[in-house]
Chains A and B, each alone.
Chain A
Amino acid sequence: MRFDQPRGLRQSMSWLHTWSGLVLGWLLFAIFATGTLSFFRNEITFWMQPELHRADKNRIDLDRALQILAWEAPNATQWSITFPSPRNPTLGLSWQAPGQNQGAGGRDQQEGAREGASREARPARESAGGNGERPRGEGGFAAREGRPVRENAGGGGERAGREGGFAARSREDGSARREGAARSERAGRPEGEGAAQQNDGRQQGEAPNAAGGQQQARAQGGGGGGGGNRGPRIVLDPATGAQLKGRETAGGNFLYRFHFELYGMDRMWGRWIVGIATMFMFVAIISGVIVHRNIFKDFFTFRPAKGKRSWLDAHNASSVLSLPFHIVITFSGLLLFGNMLLPTAMQSAYPDGMNMRARMAQEATPPSGERAPLVDLVPLLAIADETWQSRGIGSLTIINPGDRKSIVEIRQPMAGGSLVSGRNMAESLRFDGVTGEPLAVTQAPPPTTVQAISNVFIMLHRGFFASPVPRWLLFLAGIGGALMVATGLVMWCIARTKEKEKHRVESGRTPFGHRLVEVCNVAGIAGLLLAIGAYFWANRLIPADLLQRNLWEIRVFFLIWGASGVHALLRDYKRAWIEQLAGAGFLIAALPFLNPLTGGLSLFGSISLGQGLLIGFDLAALLIGLSLFYAARKVRLHVPRVRATQAAPPFVNLQPEESA
Chain B
Amino acid sequence: MSLAFDLLILALALFGFCALSASMERHAKQVFGKLPPSEARKRYAIVGWVALVLALLPAIHAYGPSTGIAVWVGILAVSATGVALLLTYRPRSLHFTFSIALAGVLLTTLMGW
Contacts and interface: CB of A to CB of B under 8 A. Distances in A.
A300 B67 contact: no
Interface of A: 122, 125, 297, 299-304, 317, 321-322, 324-325, 417-420, 456, 459-460, 465-467, 469-470, 473-474, 476-477, 480
A303 B67 contact: no
A473 B87 contact: no
Interface in B68-107: 70-71, 73-75, 77-78, 80-81, 83-85, 87-89
B71 A469 contact: yes
A474 B74 contact: yes
Nearest to A323: B77
A245 B3 CA distance: 36
Contacts of A122: 2
Given A297-B24, A304-B88, A469-B6, A321 B67 contact: no
B113 to A, nearest CB: 18
A552 B26 CA distance: 54
B78 A476 contact: yes
A414 to B, nearest CB: 14
A473 B73 CA distance: 9
A473 B77 contact: yes
Contact of A325 (B63, B77, B84): B77
B41 interface: no
Nearest to B66: A419
Given A300-B80, A418-B64, A465-B67, A477 B88 contact: no
Contacts of A300: 17, 21, 24, 27, 80, 83-84, 87
Interface residues of B, number: 28
B87 A470 contact: no
Closest 7 CB pairs of A and B: A473-B74, A419-B66, A300-B84, A322-B77, A302-B88, A324-B73, A321-B77
Given A300-B80, A470-B67, 4 more contacts: A303-B88, A304-B89, A420-B65, A477-B77
A299 B17 CA distance: 10
Task: Specify which of A322, A473, A480 lies most central, judged by the most chain B CB atoms within 10 Å of its CB.
Answer: A473
Contacts of B73: 324-325
Contacts of B84: 299-302, 317, 321
A460 B68 CA distance: 11
Given A300-B80, A300-B83, A301-B84, A325 B74 contact: yes
Contact of B67 (A301, A317, A418, A480): A418
12 contacts: A297-B26, A300-B17, A300-B27, A300-B87, A302-B88, A304-B89, A321-B80, A321-B81, A322-B74, A324-B73, A465-B70, A470-B71
A476 B66 contact: no
A302 B89 CA distance: 9
Contacts of B78: 473, 476
Given A321-B77, A322-B77, A302 B70 contact: no
Contacts of A469: 2, 6, 63, 71
A322 B78 CA distance: 8
A470 B75 CA distance: 9
Interface in B1-30: 1-2, 6, 17, 21, 24, 26-27
A437 B25 CA distance: 69
Given A297-B24, A321-B77, A480-B77, A460 B70 contact: yes
Contact of A299 (B2, B6, B80, B88): B80
A459 B69 CA distance: 13
Contacts of B63: 467, 469-470
A473 B64 CA distance: 16
B98 to A, nearest CB: 14
B66 A473 contact: no
Task: Specify which of B26, B70, B89 lies most central, judged by the most chain A CB atoms within 10 Å of its CB.
Answer: B70
Contacts of B70: 419, 460, 465, 470, 473-474
A465 B69 CA distance: 13
B1 to A, nearest CB: 8
A476 B2 contact: no
Contacts of B88: 302-304
Contacts of B81: 317, 321, 480
B26 A301 contact: yes
A329 B83 CA distance: 24
Contacts of B21: 300
Contacts of B87: 300, 302
B27 A420 contact: no
A419 B73 CA distance: 15
Interface string B46-78: 000000000000000001111100110111011
A516 to B, nearest CB: 32
B104 to A, nearest CB: 17
A456 B70 CA distance: 10
A420 B66 contact: yes
A390 B34 CA distance: 52
A590 B63 CA distance: 36
Contacts of A303: 88
Task: Specify which of B26, B63, B71 lies most central, judged by the most chain A CB atoms within 10 Å of its CB.
Answer: B63
Task: Specify which of A300, A302, A474 lies most central, judged by the most chain B CB atoms within 10 Å of its CB.
Answer: A300
